[in-house]
Structure 1
Amino acid sequence: MIQRLLIGRCLSALATALIPTTLTLAVLRATGDGGALGIVLASEMVPLLLLLPVGGVLADRIRPERVALLADLTRCLSQAAIAIELLLGVYRILDLAVLSAVAGIAIAFGSPAVPRLVVAVVPGQDRLRMNARIGVATSLSAVVAPALAGTVTLAAGPGWAAALTAALFACSALTLGGISSTPAASHVKAAPHADARLQVNAVRQVEKAAQVKRVSAFGRDVAEGWREVRGRRWFLACTLAHGVWHFMAGLFLTLAPMTAVRELGGEVSWTVIVQSGTVGLVLGVLAAPRLPIRRPLAVVQAGAACYLLPMVALAVTAPTAVMAGAYFVAMFGLGLLSPLWETVVAEEIPERALGRVRSFDQLISFASRPFGLAVAAPLAGVTGVTALALTGGVLVAVANLAAILPSRSSLRPAPAEAAPARVK
């Protein structure tokens, strides 16, 4: 079952990473409209963010393999529907937005179930290794997927790229279908000759009481997690600055492909830019644990501030090579940011509150990206791409560099003789 779980998660990670590039090229091929692209991309993120807390509660009540299986099947069907429309030459933005929203709902319910599934299936001594392998698969998917989606789209059309995504989700669902976690044993023991219906009713009453208790505890835990966040100025400042980064990423990922397709040589240009960024991301992740970093939080914020470069390149409509280089540097900074941020947070936040604090981190940071995707085209229509990109670049640099200041009094630097920071 462990191998089935690993294979299923690898397939699901690759399929998930294929979706953004496929949708971007499909919408731009159909309309060339940045506003339409922003709506389609945001349609997945909005329900995902809204329903993540609900998905977490549901994941605690239902066997995790069932939730993960249903999530992959739902995404398989949504991608299959997109593939059919595109292969038939039907490019309705409303349909693509609705189907993307369905996929976002599936992710919101499926993602919280995966850690529980790992715990249920993998023995304690092997869980760290399994999580590391899943993390490697996700990182590799981020590199392979844009090139794969771009190649299939250029060679055969976006419909076939969506069909490949649907097939991968179907294969992931097939692997999960053979996994069974062990249900929790009931605490109710019936007499040897007790009536079966009385046993069932007793079990249901116990389960209902447990569910009510979990709901009440859920509210208290959320409030306690927010208190942990508010009590750490450095964490809140950095998280809000990361939210600015995600908003600007939403602007860039809407306006840059439109500019690349229209003015820099077409779909190939955008594929080159995206792939440069994914290579930079991976190299940054690999470099982070090998550098002698004494102030990891300063490096984290400087890495986020590097997003100034592609925003400036977009503003001046730089050639493909220049924009690809700028995006490479920015994503290299993100590659440094991710493992260092995880390490700092894990060291500074008490383990009892780590999960809740990280959920607030994700909600605050990621909620701004769909907003950026949705408003990019309307804002560009008012201000122009040049002014918007330059302003956004300055804001992302200022916000993230300014967030270093609260951390200097809150976090101690590593001693000079300490070994380089290692990624946990």
Structure 2
Amino acid sequence: MLDVLDRQAKNPTRPWDSVPFRWLLTGRTLIGLGSAITPVAMALAVLHLGGSATELGLVVAAYALVDVVTTLFAGVLGDRFSRALLMRVAATLSCLSQAAVAVSLATGAATVPMLAVMSALNGGLAAVAGPSSRAVVPQTVPAAALPTAVSVLRLSQNTAMILGFSLAGLLVGLFGPGWAIAVDAATFAAGAACFTAMRVTGQDKAEARSMLDDLAGGAREVLRHTWLWTLLVQALIYHLVYGGVQGVLGPVLMTHRFGDAAWGWALAALMAGFMVGGVVTLRYRPRRMLLAGTAFLALTACFPLAMALPVPLPVVMAGAFLHGLGLEVFSVNWDLAIQQQVAPDKLARVFAFDQVGSFVMRPLGLALTGPVAAAAGERTWLLVAATVMAATVLLSLAPSSVRHLRRQPEERRTEN
């Protein structure tokens, strides 16, 4: 450990000089790859078993519901106990659960209700690891390397997602959904091994109280920072309106206008935007991190706006690209702001509130989009969604703490 710290002292801004960070990066990337394969494989597994669209929705909802419910308590655990340990345990149990699903599908023993139960279990396990996997990052690198570490981790996750989505259809087509999910189980096993090898610095642990008291402490930490709760509220509204755009209106409208392949091209452009945004953040280090990040976030309105207008497919793809670019630049600066400004013993709980705040409104948006768009018109609702997304971004810049929150100076980060 001492030789690692010596190398970091010479190159304090290079996260990959840290052995613990390399294990974290490898483990998270492998798990991200497998986790991108599973949704495609699980959907096709349900359909192969004769399940309806409604039953598929219930399987997906089971994962999402348990994930959201469990995340807040997982944040408490991440501040009480070793975050690396929680990640190891969650990855190991996820490996076992996915292996059980793979075996049941391969042997013909699987049923749709069983897949729903296992999906819910995996949602809970993902929630256990989620806050800790973000809060552990400052324990793996010196403070000066944290900005680059955040960018590299997000870039690797996006790369893994692209590869996973690309591999999923191929694996299911060649070997069946059971074997595709077996690959996910293998990535969890590899991730657990990486997290076992990861030796991190000690963390400041929260004083153990009741779960509700600890949750209240996390909520107070969120409310203590105006910039934090302001942008969480903005995220609630964003996911309420955009969830239905991506999950409901986008596929329907794009297919009708441009053909079956158009939605896939649009999502590919979106992911390309994420990738380019990640590369940009490796060099672009604005002092007023949230002012710059939130300004980039306004680009997310370009995607629904382009879909609403009578423009050719390349223009819609450009809108999708700008959406991904803006969201990624914001997300990197957002993660860094939390890690630099929030007390270390409350990091996991704050990240848990961030995750719940980001996704709790998405199911409601998915449910409401169809009826609302039918009443108002699909293109009209897309224009409304774009306007709401842009307006909430502008309103979130009103607090001075959002506009003026500054990245920690390089000298201070090196000394910490």
Give, in whole Å, the separation in 1 of the partners of 2:280 and 2:194.
Answer: 38
The residue number in structure 2 matching 1:46 is 65
- Aligned ranges for residues 336-347 of structure 1 at < 5 Å? 336-347=329-340
Residues 1:68 and 2:91 aligned together = yes
Residue 137 (structure 1) aligns with? 156
State which of 368, 375, 378 in structure 1 corresponds to 2:368.
375
Deviations 1:221-265 (A, max 9, x none): 322322222233222111111222222331122121233344422
Partner residue, 1:257: 251
Corresponding residue for 2:393? 400
Q: 1:171 to 1:335 in 2, by over 3 A?
A: closer
Deviation at 1:275, TM superposition (A): 1.6
> Which of 161, 166, 188 in structure 2 is aligned with 1:147?
166
Contact 2:155 2:275 in 1 (8 A): no
Worse-superposed segment, 320-329 or 39-48: 39-48
- d(CA) in 1 for partners of 2:253 and 2:44? 13
| Pairing 1:244–2:230 present | no
1:13 correspondence with 2:32? yes
Q: Say which SS state the counterpart of residue 399 (structure 2) adopts.
A: helix
Would the alpha carbon gap of residues 160 and 253 (structure 1) be closer, same or farther in structure 2, given more than 3 Å must change? farther
Whole-Å separation in 1 of the counterparts to 2:30 and 2:229: 35
Question: For the structure 1 residues 229 and 115, does the alpha-carbon distance in structure 2 shift closer, same or farther, using more than 3 Å as the test?
Answer: closer
Q: Distance in 1 between matches of 2:258 and 2:93?
A: 41
Q: Deviations over 1:142-199 (max 9, x none)?
A: 332233335556xx38x846632432323532663798689xxxxxxxxxxxxxxxxx
What SS does the corresponding residue of 2:259 show, helix, strand or coil?
coil
Asked if 1 retains the 8 angstrom alpha-carbon contact of 2:131 and 2:349, the reply is no
Distance 1:234 1:131 in 2: 19
Residues in 1 aligned to 2:209 and 2:241: alpha-carbon distance in whole angstroms: 36
Correspondence list, 1:211-250, <5 A: 214-216=208-210, 218-250=211-243
For the residues of structure 1 that align with 2:116 and 2:70, how far apart are their CA atoms? 17
Deviation at 1:48, TM superposition (A): 0.3
Question: Cα distance 1:171–1:6, how it changes in 2: closer, same or farther (>3 A)?
Answer: same
In the alignment, the residues of structure 1 paired with residue 162 and residue 336 of structure 2 have an alpha-carbon distance, to the nearest angstrom, of: 23
Q: Percent identity?
A: 24
Is residue 42–residue 177 contact of structure 2 (8 Å, CA) maintained in 1? no
Structure 2 gaps, min length 5? 1-18, 199-206
Alignment match, 1:101: 120
| Structure-1 separation of matches of 2:42 and 2:258 | 20
Aligned to 2:286, the other structure's residue is in SS state coil
Q: 1:274 to 1:377 in 2, by over 3 A?
A: same
Please report how far the alpha carbon of residue 319 of structure 1 lies from its aligned counterpart in structure 2 after TM superposition: 4.2
Distance 1:110 1:333 in 2: 27
Write the deviation string for residues 48-70 of structure 1: whole angstroms up to 9, x where unpaired: 01012334556767954333201
The code of the aligned residue for 1:44 comes to Y
Structure 1 residues 288 and 115: alpha-carbon distance in aligned structure 2, compared to 1, 3 A threshold: closer
Counterpart Cα distance in 2 of 1:292 and 1:58: 32
Paired amino acid for 2:166: A
Contact 2:58–2:116 (Cα < 8 Å) also in 1: yes
Q: Give the equivalent residue in structure 2 for 1:205.
A: none
SS at structure 1 position matched to 2:208 = helix
Number of residue equivalences: 380
Q: Is the contact made by 1:5 and 1:176 (CA closer than 8 Å) also made in structure 2? A: no
Q: 1-side partners of 2:107 and 2:387: how far apart?
A: 43
Task: Say whether 1:163 aligns with 2:163.
Answer: no
**TM-score of the aligned structures, taking structure 1 as reference length:** 0.71
What SS is found at the alignment partner of 2:340?
Answer: helix
Q: Where do residues 355-370 of structure 1 align in structure 2 (5 Å cutoff)?
A: 355-370=348-363
Q: Does 1:298 align with 2:294?
A: no
In structure 1, runs of 5+ residues without a counterpart are: 183-212
1:397 Cα deviation after fit: 0.9
What TM-score comes out, normalization by structure 2 length?
Answer: 0.72
> Could you tell me which amino acid in structure 2 is paired with residue 101 of structure 1?
A
Shift in Å, 1:21: 5.2
